[in-house]
Structure 1
Amino acid sequence: MFDTKVAVLVHEDLAVWQKLNVTAFLATGIASAVPEAMGQPYEDAAGRHHARLLGQPILIFAASTEVLRRAWQQSLQRSLTRSAYVRAMFETGHDAVNRAVFRAEPADTPDLVGLALHGPKKEIDKATKGARLHP
């Protein structure tokens, strides 16, 4: 049904609150980077309007450090749209500091705890190889 896919890889060793937090932040990154992936606004039976959601499913994967690093490299090689979350971002309090700690990470091997990808299905499947759907 869709030519593209959205995948979120979250480090398997995080606390539940961290997994949820990382997933939420990464999904907003994809939504802002790929506005055409957004569906139409929702309206309830009373006629009240609600925010748009991504118009396609988001697959959530549990991943090891190795799988996250591999997906990172694959996303760079395949020019996939990505949003990333590094471990140091748990220690910050706002977006400006998040960007600073992200920029301080090694470019080829950031300490990823989450990575969201958007792109052609085949390319996303290759990039997420080794990850398993989150239980």
Structure 2
Amino acid sequence: MRFDTKIAVVVRADLAVWQRLNVTSYLASGVAHARDETIGDPYEDGSGNRYLAMFRQPVLVFEADAAGLARAHARALGRGLATAVYTDELFATDHDAANRAAVRAVEAEKLSLAGLGLYGPRNAVDRVTKGLSLHG
């Protein structure tokens, strides 16, 4: 099935593996709240056990250096895409309010980005991630 929208996560390539996984999970949780249509229906197994609903479409995970991440961030903001952001400062915070305060303290073009979560029209997300490699 081809979706009109796309979900993408862009993670900085020089992060430790645990950091890349942590950033990806946080950003995906942000994208999940972008629009109601991002999430499908709950799951149920043959024994009647219920499971949480998940994204209704694939999530593409890209990697970039700091410059590529900054470029993608500027493109996403310029296109008005639903964007989740994770900065280096968030590795040192220990709760949600501190996370928001850390991001709020820095102007957009000066953010030290560890990753971005993106949701929007397929072609707009493709333009933002153009030139980036899928995480490998």
- TM-score greater than 0.5 by the shorter chain: yes
Question: 2:34, 2:119 within 8 Å by CA — same for their partners in 1?
Answer: no
Q: Does 1:106 align with 2:95?
A: no
Question: 2:60, 2:134 within 8 Å by CA — same for their partners in 1?
Answer: yes
How far has the Cα of 1:130 moved from its partner?
A: 2.0
How far has the Cα of 1:78 moved from its partner?
A: 0.6
Question: 2:11, 2:23 within 8 Å by CA — same for their partners in 1?
Answer: yes
How far has the Cα of 1:34 moved from its partner?
A: 1.8
Question: 1:88, 1:101 within 8 Å by CA — same for their partners in 2?
Answer: yes
- Measure, in 2, the Cα distance between the counterparts of 1:132 and 1:31: 23
For 1:1-135, what aligned pairs fall within 5 Å after superposition? 1-135=2-136
- Measure, in 2, the Cα distance between the counterparts of 1:8 and 1:109: 20
- Measure, in 1, the Cα distance between the counterparts of 2:4 and 2:52: 24
How far has the Cα of 1:108 moved from its partner?
A: 2.2
TM-score by length of 1: 0.97
Q: Show CA shifts across 1:41-97 (max 9, x none).
A: 000110111000000000000111111111111111111001000000000111110
- Identify unmatched segments of 5+ residues in structure 1: none
How far has the Cα of 1:10 moved from its partner?
A: 0.2
- Measure, in 2, the Cα distance between the counterparts of 1:41 and 1:90: 31
How far has the Cα of 1:17 moved from its partner?
A: 0.5
Following TM superposition, the consecutive aligned residue runs of length 4 or more in structure 1 with deviations greater than 6 angstroms are none
- Measure, in 1, the Cα distance between the counterparts of 2:65 and 2:131: 9
Aligned pairs, number: 135
- Identify unmatched segments of 5+ residues in structure 2: none
